[in-house]
């Protein structure tokens, strides 16, 4: 029950941050796990959601609390004469008691609402993990592409040497050298742009973690991270996903509301005590001047039934609404999983295509560079082939990143 969470709410916050961060099998992937944990500990939006849960927990105590007793005092300006003396003042203490089980029903309503709030916190935590992973893979693919661009730069330098050698042997024109230099300048500009883009992504990831925006993100081997095999086979949603559990807890709260509506239609009891102060005036009686004590019992009469019928009807309608919401959320999760599975198959198909194209281009480039060295092929054609190879390499890298991000999405959609 929610009371166990209530007793250890601060400890629970740290505990459930760690739940959902799965252990990976290489050091680079573990870096992502540490980023997720750090984000869960410091992200302001997640902290706000947890505080909302703690605030809802306090409603449990409020719901189970008894009504405050009513104490009244009256002073008679003109004392009321009685047989034993004048009555000059009166105290009255009353405590109202609802029908049996009313406080329990109210406590159950607040408890289940608190549990629903906790499930929202769980869902927000999982969404935060997904956002961190997506930014992490965006940085990884950008740095992998930067490595590919650097490799392309070195290839262009080698091609320039070959063309210069051919020019010295009257096998090439100066325009061929200038064409290669033009590509080198273009390559340097591309590498500079990638560096600036990297800084933007690092800033965005640090913002999610809520730490200094200039904190470096260390990724030792981006290619290895992107090529790790973590393909997920999913058939259906998990029945205990936080998005579903939140609605189920609200349904339980609704059942308690129906029970409360029935109990509110029953009488309430009031226990009280009256104490009257009697002044002694030397009346010739054995009980002269003795104060009066009178126990009291009161009962409310719920004769106006419209409001009670309205409470019951509202609870029934709210229950129907929650059932529709649950069915819609189940369909929504199933739809999102099917879209992710379709995207996974599409990305794997594209990855296979890029791998085949790169294998063929590797053979073509080997032959073309040999032909260029023997002045049997134009430098422009060789540059075009290298540009095509780089394009496929970058498309392959982006597909790998999308596969990893899609896996993270599937992890979120099927979380328990």
Average pLDDT, the chain: 86
Helices and strands, number each (H, E), in the chain: 10, 4
Query: Does the pLDDT value for residue 11 go beyond 60?
Result: no
According to the model, what pLDDT value does residue 231 have?
Answer: 61
Query: Does the pLDDT value for residue 22 go beyond 70?
Result: no
Other beta carbons within 10 angstroms of residue 237's beta carbon come to: 21
- Counted residue by residue, the chain has a size of 416
Read off the pLDDT of residues 55-78 as tens digits, 9 standing for 90 and up: 999 999 888 888 889 999 888 887
> What letter does residue 68 receive in the DSSP assignment?
P
According to the model, what pLDDT value does residue 90 have?
Answer: 86
- Number of domains comprising the chain: 1
Other beta carbons within 10 angstroms of residue 327's beta carbon come to: 11
Question: pLDDT class for 377, splitting at 50, 70, 90?
Answer: confident
Read off the pLDDT of residues 80-118 as tens digits, 9 standing for 90 and up: 776 666 778 888 999 888 888 888 999 999 999 999 999
According to the model, what pLDDT value does residue 21 have?
Answer: 39
According to the model, what pLDDT value does residue 6 have?
Answer: 44
According to the model, what pLDDT value does residue 19 have?
Answer: 42
Question: pLDDT class for 229, splitting at 50, 70, 90?
Answer: confident
Question: pLDDT class for 369, splitting at 50, 70, 90?
Answer: confident
Least confident span in 26-40, 219-233, 234-248, 329-343: 26-40
Least confident span in 132-136, 266-270, 342-346: 266-270
What are 197's two structure tokens?
């883009």
Query: Does the pLDDT value for residue 387 go beyond 70?
Result: yes
Helix (H, G, I), strand (E, B) or coil at 87: strand
Question: pLDDT class for 121, splitting at 50, 70, 90?
Answer: very high
Query: Does the pLDDT value for residue 26 go beyond 60?
Result: no
Other beta carbons within 10 angstroms of residue 178's beta carbon come to: 11
**Cβ-contact 389, 364 below 8 angstroms:** no
Q: Which of 146, 27, 135, 203 is nearest to 397 (CA)?
A: 146
pTM (2 decimals)?
A: 0.83
According to the model, what pLDDT value does residue 284 have?
Answer: 58
Angle between helices 102-168 and 174-209 (to 10 degrees): 160
Give, for 10, the enclosing helix (H) or strand (E): helix 9-18
Query: Does the pLDDT value for residue 271 go beyond 60?
Result: yes
Question: pLDDT class for 12, splitting at 50, 70, 90?
Answer: very low
DSSP 247-305: HHHHHHHHHHHHHHHHHHTS--EEEEEEEEEE-----SSTTTTPPEEEEEEEE------
Read off the pLDDT of residues 122-163 as tens digits, 9 standing for 90 and up: 999 999 999 999 999 999 999 999 999 999 999 999 989 988
Angstrom distance (rounded) from CA 326 to CA 320: 10
Q: Choose between 356 and 82: higher pLDDT.
A: 356
Helix (H, G, I), strand (E, B) or coil at 414: coil
According to the model, what pLDDT value does residue 25 have?
Answer: 34
Query: Does the pLDDT value for residue 30 go beyond 60?
Result: no
CATH number at residue 329: 1.20.1600.10
**Cβ-contact 275, 291 below 8 angstroms:** yes
Query: Does the pLDDT value for residue 341 go beyond 80?
Result: yes
Longest pairwise C-alpha distance within the chain:
146
Residue 23 structural domain? 2-413
Sign of CA dihedral 45, 47, 50, 52: negative
Question: pLDDT class for 373, splitting at 50, 70, 90?
Answer: confident
Angstrom distance (rounded) from CA 233 to CA 231: 7
Mean pLDDT for 223-233 is 80
């Amino acid at each position: 029950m929610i009371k166990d969470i209530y007793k250890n709410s601060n400890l629970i916050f740290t505990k459930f941050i760690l739940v959902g961060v799965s252990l990976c099998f290489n050091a680079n992937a573990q870096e992502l796990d540490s980023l997720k944990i750090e984000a869960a500990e410091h992200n302001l939006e997640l902290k706000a959601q947890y505080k909302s849960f703690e605030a809802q927990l306090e409603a449990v105590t409020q719901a189970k609390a008894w009504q405050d007793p009513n104490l009244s005092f009256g002073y008679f300006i003109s004392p009321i004469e009685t047989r034993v003396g004048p009555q000059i003042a009166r105290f009255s203490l009353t405590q109202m008691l609802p029908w049996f089980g009313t406080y329990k029903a109210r406590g159950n309503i607040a408890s289940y609402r608190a549990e629903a709030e906790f499930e929202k916190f769980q869902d927000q935590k999982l969404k935060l993990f997904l956002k961190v992973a997506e930014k992490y893979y965006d940085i990884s693919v950008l740095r992998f592409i930067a490595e590919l661009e650097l490799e392309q730069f070195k290839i262009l330098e080698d091609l320039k040497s070959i063309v210069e050698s051919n020019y010295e042997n009257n096998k090439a024109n100066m325009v061929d050298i200038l064409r290669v230099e033009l590509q080198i300048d273009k390559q340097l500009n591309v590498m500079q742009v990638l560096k600036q883009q990297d800084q933007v992504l690092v800033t965005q990831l640090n913002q999610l973690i809520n730490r200094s925006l200039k904190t470096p993100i260390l990724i030792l081997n981006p290619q290895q991270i992107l090529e790790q095999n973590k393909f997920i086979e999913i058939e259906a949603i998990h029945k205990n996903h936080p998005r579903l559990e939140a609605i189920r807890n609200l349904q339980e709260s609704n059942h308690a509301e129906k029970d409360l509506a029935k109990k509110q239609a029953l009488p309430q009891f009031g226990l009280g005590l009256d104490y009257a102060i009697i002044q002694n005036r030397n009346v010739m009686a054995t009980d002269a001047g003795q104060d009066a004590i009178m126990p009291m019992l009161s009962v409310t009469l719920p004769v106006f039934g419209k409001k009670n019928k309205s409470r019951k009807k509202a609870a029934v309608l709210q229950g129907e609404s929650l059932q529709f919401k649950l069915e819609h959320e189940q369909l929504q999760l199933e739809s999102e999983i099917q879209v992710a599975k379709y995207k996974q198959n599409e990305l794997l198909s594209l990855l296979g295509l890029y791998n085949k194209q790169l294998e063929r281009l590797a053979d073509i480039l080997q032959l073309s560079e040999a032909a260029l060295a023997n002045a049997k092929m134009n430098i422009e054609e060789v540059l075009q082939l290298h540009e095509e190879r780089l394009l496929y390499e970058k498309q392959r890298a982006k597909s790998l990143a999308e596969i990893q991000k899609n896996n993270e999405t599937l992890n979120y959609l099927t979380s328990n």
